């Protein structure tokens, strides 16, 4: 197995400042781990990228119908889709790893499309012809006797049936690579509210997400709803050009996007994604894969490939396309482990002064989702017959700890950029008020942001006094001078 040893910037808390820690592939389910290791041996570009991609596949296969809860808390139901962003430079094996690990899902979709073309569509077309003929007949009869209300009611039913047939005349769509966010709602309607966002080169989709067609403003509302399995309501033109409201009662979405570092950085620094909370719902991995050597390449053992593919097909059959809801229950011990972890991460979030709290607030939910994917990988289509164990929760926590290395890098970057803006505004205040400025004047300057209240402003001023950036002056109402001028 090739080692990932490319020189990289230091990460907070790393003993070795020149390399990122390896992806904990040992935490993955056996068939998934074996395939990830085999893909790494084939590409010879490193192990981190294949492992990071493989980690997302099980959640993609089950997100269509599976939710997680504990029997004592039926109100706390967690969807199972996960949003993974895997980052690698050109030549690091993104295309090959993505093709091999995501390939079975594409093949599953191809087979479904073929069945639809040969078996389903002809029957639907035949029904539409029958409905059209009956509509034509009743329309002619109604013109002869316009007072016959029964024909009018029958026509209404026929037009509704025709619309339903036309709505069903869409080939199965499980995966999409490049789509505008505006078109996503329409696609979700035709795909029963579920979709997998997957790409080995997601530049175009990310450009759309960041606002290419929305005046540069991110438009991620449909994706946020898909993450949370919320309903979507939108307006479209129906039969006869009339507007009609379309309700998607439940959505389900999972994501695996492979991108180059520049696009990942653009996402991480996008204020719109930060404020909407989409960034905090994403699991980033910056990989250290390096150019490979074909002489070292080893073919994937057929039994490993077959075992992995059969697992994907089995899970897609049992959980992705299932029209209802399936619950994976947490065992009592797993629930206790999860609550202890939730308490720990709430402490890690601190007092909310650092942006890391917006990430840590979702840690326990993310662990629940990851545990569901691991449980499915361990047990296949029988996963719903057994409870998620405490050991699986512990594996998911260890995996989340790895993702948090990168999540905290993003949070630290957010804090640095926020502090740069605060310091610029404090310098401006010091220039405008050489004898000191008041909290009210600092609030007018919006040092805490546009919509933050006086309490948030005071918290920043107190922190800057504590850090020696500001000093209190005068004996009356508090005024502040900039100590570093």
Summarised one tens digit per residue, pLDDT across range 443-469 is 888 887 655 678 888 888 888 888 788
Residue bearing the bigger pLDDT, 485 or 333: 333
Q: Per-residue pLDDT for 163 more than 80?
A: no
Query: What pLDDT score was predicted for residue 16?
Result: 38
- Rounded distance between C-alpha atoms, residue 275 and residue 181, angstroms: 18
Residue bearing the bigger pLDDT, 157 or 389: 389
Query: What pLDDT score was predicted for residue 240?
Result: 62
Query: Which residue, 455, 452, 454, is CA-closest to 441?
Result: 454
* Sequence-distant (≥ 6) Cβ neighbours of residue 279 within 8 angstroms: 267, 268, 270, 273, 410
DSSP code of residue 328:
E
**What's the rounded mean pLDDT across residues 207-223?**
84
Q: Per-residue pLDDT for 13 more than 50?
A: no
Give the confidence band of 2 by pLDDT, cuts at 50, 70, 90: very low
Rounded to the nearest integer, the mean pLDDT of the chain is 87
Query: What pLDDT score was predicted for residue 145?
Result: 67
**Contact status, residue 41 vs residue 298, Cβ threshold 8 Å:** yes
Question: How much of the chain exceeds pLDDT 70, in percent?
Answer: 91
- Rounded distance between C-alpha atoms, residue 479 and residue 435, angstroms: 8
Query: What pLDDT score was predicted for residue 470?
Result: 87
The domains found in the chain, sorted by start residue, are: 25-95+254-414 (3.40.50), 111-197+200-244 (no CATH), 433-482 (1.10.10)
Return the residue matching tokens 């990122």.
20
Question: How much of the chain exceeds pLDDT 90, in percent?
Answer: 49
- Of the candidate ranges 63-72, 252-261, 429-438, the one whose mean pLDDT is the lowest: 429-438
Query: What pLDDT score was predicted for residue 48?
Result: 93
- Of the candidate ranges 39-43, 162-166, 370-374, the one whose mean pLDDT is the lowest: 162-166
């Amino acid at each position: 197995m090739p080692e990932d040893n490319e020189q990289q910037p230091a990460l907070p808390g790393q003993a070795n400042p020149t390399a990122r820690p390896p992806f904990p592939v040992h935490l993955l389910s056996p068939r998934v781990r074996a395939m990830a290791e085999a893909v790494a041996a084939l590409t010879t570009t490193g192990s981190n990228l294949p492992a990071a991609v493989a980690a997302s596949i099980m959640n993609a296969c089950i997100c269509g119908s599976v939710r997680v809860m504990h029997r004592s808390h039926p109100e706390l139901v967690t969807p199972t889709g996960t949003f993974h962003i895997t980052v690698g430079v050109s030549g690091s094996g993104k295309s090959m790893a993505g093709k091999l690990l995501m390939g079975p899902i594409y093949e599953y979709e191809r087979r479904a499309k073929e069945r639809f073309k040969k078996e389903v569509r002809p029957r639907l077309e035949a029904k539409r012809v029958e409905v059209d003929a009956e509509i034509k007949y009743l329309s002619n009869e109604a013109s002869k006797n316009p007072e016959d209300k029964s024909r009018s009611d029958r026509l209404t039913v026929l037009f509704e049936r025709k619309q339903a047939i036309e709505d069903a005349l869409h080939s199965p769509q499980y995966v999409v690579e490049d789509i505008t966010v505006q078109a996503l709602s329409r696609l979700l309607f035709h795909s029963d509210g579920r979709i997998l966002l997957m790409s080995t080169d997601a530049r175009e989709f990310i450009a759309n997400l960041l606002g290419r067609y929305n005046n540069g403003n991110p438009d991620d509302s449909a994706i946020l709803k898909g993450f949370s399995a919320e309903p979507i309501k939108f307006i479209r033109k129906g039969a006869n050009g009339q507007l009609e409201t379309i309700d998607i009662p439940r959505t389900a979405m999972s994501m695996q996007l492979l991108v180059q570092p520049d696009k990942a950085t653009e996402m991480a620094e996008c204020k719109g994604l930060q404020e909407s909370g989409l960034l905090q719902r994403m699991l980033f991995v910056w990989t250290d894969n390096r150019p490979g050597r074909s002489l070292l390449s080893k073919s994937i053992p057929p039994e490993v490939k077959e075992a992995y593919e059969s697992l994907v097909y089995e899970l897609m059959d049992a959980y992705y396309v299932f029209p209802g809801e399936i619950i994976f229950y947490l065992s009592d011990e797993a629930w206790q482990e999860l609550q202890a972890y939730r308490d720990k991460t709430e402490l890690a979030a601190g007092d909310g002064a650092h942006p890391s709290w917006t990430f840590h607030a979702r840690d326990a939910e993310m662990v629940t989702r990851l545990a569901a994917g691991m449980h499915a990988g361990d047990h296949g289509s029988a996963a719903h017959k057994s409870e998620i164990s405490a050991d699986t929760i512990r594996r998911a926590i260890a995996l989340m700890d790895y993702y948090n290395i990168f999540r905290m890098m993003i949070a630290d970057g957010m804090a640095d950029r926020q502090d740069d803006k605060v310091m610029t505004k404090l310098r401006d205040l010091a220039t405008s008020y050489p004898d000191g400025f008041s909290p009210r004047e600092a609030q007018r300057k919006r040092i805490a942001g546009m919509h933050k209240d006086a309490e948030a402003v005071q918290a920043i001023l107190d922190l800057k006094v504590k850090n020696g950036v500001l000093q209190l002056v005068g004996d009356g109402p508090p005024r502040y001078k900039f100590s570093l001028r």
